[in-house]
Amino acid sequence: MRSHSRSAALGAALMAGLVVAPTSTPARAVKVSHVTVKMTEYRFALSVKKVPTGTVVFTVVNSGQLPHVFEIQRLKRVTPLIQAGHRYVMRVTFAKPGKYYYLCPVGAHVQYGMFGTLPVVAAAA
C-alpha cells in the first residue's frame, strides 16, 4: 500500500510539473532609448537630436559650476537640483510624438538661454 501512495504522489508531482512548465514563447523586447544631457552655464547639450516614442533614459550630467535642473514641461518631469560634477538618471515615457520643451527653471537660467526642444517621433514598428 505504501508503494502505491508513493507512486501516486510521484505521478501527481510529475503532472504538476508538466502543467506549470514554462513555455518558450519569446517575449517582445521593449526598446529603450538613452540620452545624455550635458548641462553647463547656460546651455544644454543632448547626445541626440530626436528620440522615438516609448521609454527614454536620460542621464543628466552637470558639467558646469552652478547647480542646474532638467525639466520636461509637457510631462511635468523634473530632476532634483543637480550640483556641479554630479549626475542624475531619469526614466521618461513619451506616449505621443511631438515637440517637448525642456528648460532649467533655476533662477534666471532660462532667460540666459538654458532651454530647448526635443522632437519625439513615432517609433519604428
23-61 pLDDT tens trace: 555 555 668 999 999 999 999 999 999 999 999 999 999
Q: Are 84 and 70 in contact (CB under 8 A)?
A: no
CB-based contact 70:38 (threshold 8 Å): no
> Model pTM?
0.76
Alpha carbons 96 and 54: distance in angstroms, whole number: 8
User: Could you read off the pLDDT of 11-28 as tens digits, one per residue?
Assistant: 554 444 444 445 555 555
